[in-house]
Structure 1
């Protein structure tokens, strides 16, 4: 019984995430966090454009809250909006931007889109990044194009715990295009990043006695 309830809760959470992503896709949406509290559900929306998500006078929040109550049966949902300061260090937003730019400019411009967003990520201070665009680009046969820069480990502790990842898909006239983004943010301390301290000069001091029997220090 407990397992069934857990599965139902996970499915409902997935549906809520899909709904909010579709609702705010063009408004700087990144991801959400759903927390169960004793008084209801708390939904945190992470976005680069909080004003567009909230709406004039909070109209979007009120409308979404009502939908979450009636359609998804969330108990007393409370929506908070958190601002993402640097959008080019968030793989979800970057992947979404790549998809929208491919839809706007066409798959023929995929190299400009890939390299442009990669450069924006590195300019934002990322240690390393990778963008992969897959699908029928630019020809009729499916292929994958990889854009990489900086240092990005593929395996190991850093890759598993600190590399931020996101995947998006978009349906274009050429077919379904997949976009994968990986970012190693600038605040990660790499284990092989060795810092060499400056050489410390040490002076040797000798103690000698003068003719009166007093101690006298001399540097050598």
Structure 2
């Protein structure tokens, strides 16, 4: 079997930026554990609110958590009550003295791979036929302005005894091209037959990466090869 490179990590520093922005020598293990707990809690709690991305920034005594969602009103609540409740829950997961929460609306949710993967998972759990889900998802993504898209559902699809993978793709999704803005996400759907894995790739078009970004990527690849 071939080794697959993650589309997001492959483009870090060129098309995508890091979702965790902090540095630590002595507390790296503790901060990493906190980040994992925070992300797991948020994606489970806000799964049906269109949570696309979570960014965590840390300073000496403050942790800033940025949420990118398609339905910010459901999170904020009346008079900001939802934000206050969420802050109190997150305070239990971190040792930071102060937590700052920022909510940003995703203008084009159909071009977010994570949101589309969550939507597919919800439809699978509601027993919508898988082929109809794939076709409908691809149509929504392409109508939103994507250059190409690919969707996969793996597992005991339709309750069959032998696991299989259903694929559907349209347009161009060049995973090896650094100038292509590829968004990728995975999710899991829990059914009575077991869990189904969901993967979504979206090509949002080409972006100029510039000589500096490409030079940094090549330098990093050279160092890894020398090691």
Provide TM-score, normalisation by structure 1.
0.79
| Larger radius of gyration between Structure 1 and Structure 2 | 1
1:178-220, Cα deviation, whole Å (9 max, x unpaired)? 0000111135369xxxxxxxxxxxxxxxxxxxxxxxxxxxxxx
Indicate the residue corresponding to 1:82 in structure 2: 104
- How many residues are aligned here? 185
**Counterparts in 2 of 1:187 and 1:54: CA distance versus 1, 3 Å:** farther
How far apart are residue 155 of structure 1 and its match?
Answer: 2.1
Indicate the residue corresponding to 2:52 in structure 1: 30
RMSD of aligned Cα (Å): 1.8
CA contact (8 A) 2:39 2:54 kept: yes
Gaps of 5+ in 1: 191-220
Q: Which has the higher contact order (CA 8 A, sep 6+)?
A: 2
1:178 to 184, 188, 197: 197
Distance (whole Å) between structure 2 residues aligned to residue 136 and residue 158 of structure 1: 36
Secondary structure of the corresponding residue to residue 65 of structure 2: strand
Larger fraction in helix: 2
Displaced runs of 4+ in structure 1, greater than 4 A? none
Distance (whole Å) between structure 1 residues aligned to residue 194 and residue 185 of structure 2: 20
Indicate the residue corresponding to 2:221 in structure 1: none
Gaps of 5+ in 2: 1-23, 210-227
CA contact (8 A) 1:68 1:74 kept: no
Distance (whole Å) between structure 2 residues aligned to residue 74 and residue 122 of structure 1: 42
